[in-house]
A = this chain, B = another copy of it.
Amino acid sequence: MSRWKPDAAGRLVKAAMTLFDERGYEATTVAEIAESAGLTKRTFFRYFADKREVLFMGSAQLQDHWATAVRNAPPDVGAIDAVKVGLDAVAELFRERHPLARIRARIIAANPELHERELIKLAKLADALAAALRARGVADPAAELAAQTGVTIFHSAFGRWVRQDDPEALRRLMDESLADLRAVVAG
């Protein structure tokens, strides 16, 4: 095995998801994930603290991409539109991940502890978006409410995305979610 492998993290994620799907999350070991990716356990632990973190690497990337896009939105754009600009970056991030996202959703739905971790990550995502909005000069409660609304839209659209077959649908589903939410709050 060569000592340097391109995209080791990406290969570990793919190997882990495949094994989680085939054998179950609990039954899969870090050694098996590393072996299946053609890497060592030591390389695994360079990227992930444990096998659970493999499932949540995408959550950290999601938060980074979205909050950065909110910070960099044109200065004249309002709170909800800055949140919406970020959805383009989010859709781009997930474009090629539909098969893995579907497996991940099944694993998380089947494991209450992972489901709780997911809920906490979503709440922290809302906190990060609110901080990005405050950095743009949006005051509370608007910053908090726009950030939480963004996460609500994302979560609803993402749940529908992984339950249907079109990998390209995420952007459209997020737009539909915002339109649905606007109709709901208008009463």
* Contact of A149 (CB < 8 Å), options: B80, B116, B120, B184: B184
Compute how far the CA of A81 lies from the CA of B186 in the bound complex, rounded to whole angstroms.
Answer: 10
Taking the closest CB of chain B, its distance from the CB of A174, in whole angstroms, is 12
Interface centre among A80, A145, A149, A187, by most chain B C-beta atoms within 10 angstroms, is: A145
From B80, B122, B187, A78 is in contact (CB under 8 Å) with B187
- Within A142-156, the residues touching B (CB, 8 Å) are 142, 144-146, 148-149, 152, 155-156
- State the Cβ distance, A159 to closest chain B Cβ, in Å: 8
- Of the candidates B120, B122, B146, B156, the one whose C-beta lies within 8 Å of that of A184 is B146
- A117-155 residues with Cβ-Cβ distance < 8 A to B are 119-120, 122-123, 141-142, 144-146, 148-149, 152, 155
Q: Which residues of B contact A182 (CB under 8 A)?
A: 185-186
Q: Distance (Å) between the CB of A169 and the closest chain B CB? A: 14
How many residues of A are counted as interface, with CB atoms below 8 angstroms from the partner's CB atoms?
Answer: 30
A152 surroundings in chain B (CB, below 8 A): 145, 148-149, 152
**In the complex the two chains form, is B184's CB within 8 Å of A79's CB?**
yes
Determine whether A181 belongs to the interface, using a CB cutoff of 8 Å to chain B.
Answer: yes
Contacting A119 at CB < 8 Å: which of B119, B177, B184, B186? B119
Contact of A160 among B79, B141, B146, B156 (CB under 8 A): B141
Contact partner of A120 (CB less than 8 A), chosen from B78, B119, B180, is B119
Contact B142 A184 (CB under 8 A): yes
3 tightest A-B CB contacts, nearest first: A119-B123, A148-B152, A145-B181
